[in-house]
Amino acid sequence: MTMHAHREDHPSTMMGVNHATSGAAAWIAATGAMPYLTSGAYPLDPVGVIAGSFVCAGAALLPDADHHSATIARSVPILGRLTAGAVNSVSGGHRHGAHSLIAAAIVGVSAWGLTLVTLTTERLGTFSLGTVIGAAALMCFALKARDMVESWLTAWVLGALFGVLLVTLAPSSIAWFPLAVVVGFVAHLAGDLLTTGGLPGLLWPIRPRPPRLLRRAPIISSIWRSNGFVALPVLGDTGSVREIAFGTVLGLYVLVGSVHETLLWFGVDLFRFISWPSFI
């Protein structure tokens, strides 16, 4: 029934699962070490690639925090809905303010701010408590969005465990955590842009409308709508065959990337092994 209400308000956006997958895929593409399949833009060690892909997947669900029925709004009973409601009214409704470049910048700066919140104890020394909390929340959303766990309590417990492991095993995460959050957030915006619903407010709070002359022009009118929304709807409507196919390809990419990095972690280079016969 929430699905129905969602459809009435907003004709089409990308499915939550695909948002999470696109975030993970974007991080692997930016930081991974696969020949041809990754960009080498921000190379990281295997721990950074894998841990960051989870951070990114969680962050790719954040823009929909402005929607009452979104995964994120159900994260904490009552409080989650209240937070989503507040974000909704401040940002001018679903897919307005929260789907803008300003929001991406605010979220990035907040994530950076979190990394600066440190705690010093005698036994553990100084560590970034803010990164633990931020990573815990994002991991929790990612697990839930991908239906990997049943209850929110389990999701939070695993999230907290992830946060602790992240700062312990990958101390460099304090440096890349804000970047991973921004990459995930922007991946979400890119995903919505590709569906029929499009983006209402990339430049929010301004939403330029096309001049009258262009409002009925073929192609242009479906990219730059008369109401000011923009879309490149190559994936069609929510849950379309094209969107599911796209999500499946991204999922396979994430799978191959994760397996490759895990093996690298243990000193095995999958791609070197595969291309080995050509050296003979």
The residue at minimum Cβ distance from Zn ion is 192
How do strand 118-121 and strand 125-128 relate by DSSP bridges? Answer: antiparallel
Residue type, 236: G
Smallest separation, CB 188 to Zn ion (Å): 6
Considering only the stretches 10-18, 126-134, 224-232, 272-280, report the one whose residues sit in contact with Zn ion under the rule CB under 5 A: 10-18
Compare residues 45 and 237 and give the one whose CB is closer to Zn ion: 237
Q: Minimum Å distance from CB 74 to Zn ion? A: 16
Q: Closest CB to Zn ion among 179 and 189?
A: 189
For 277, left (φ over 0), alpha (ψ -120 to 50), or beta? alpha
Q: Hunting for tokens 């409601």 — which residue is that?
A: 85
Q: Name which of 32 and 80 has its Cβ closer to Zn ion.
A: 80
Specify the residue, 86 or 255, whose C-beta has the smaller distance to Zn ion: 86
Please give the residues from 58 up to 117 whose contact with Zn ion meets the rule CB under 5 A: 63-64
CB of 98 to Zn ion, least distance (A): 8
- Choose the binding region for Zn ion from 13-21, 212-220, 234-242, 250-258 (rule: CB under 5 A): 13-21
How far is 115 from 92, CA to CA, in rounded Å?
Answer: 29
Q: Alpha-carbon torsion 164, 170, 172, 176, what sign?
A: negative
Q: Contact region for Zn ion (CB under 5 A) — 119-127, 189-197, 200-208, 246-254?
A: 189-197
Interface size with Zn ion, residues (CB under 5 A): 4
Q: Is 192 in the site for Zn ion (CB under 5 A)?
A: yes
Q: Of 182, 147, 162, which is closest to residue 26 (Cα–Cα)?
A: 182
First to last CA, the chain: 60
The β-bridge partners of 118 are: 128
Query: Is residue 141 within 8 Å of residue 158, measured between CB atoms?
Result: no
Number of H helices, E strands in the chain: 11, 2
Residue 243 in contact with Zn ion, rule: CB under 5 A: no
Given the complex with Zn ion, which of 64 and 261 has the nearer CB atom? Answer: 64
Binding site for Zn ion (CB under 5 A): 13, 63-64, 192
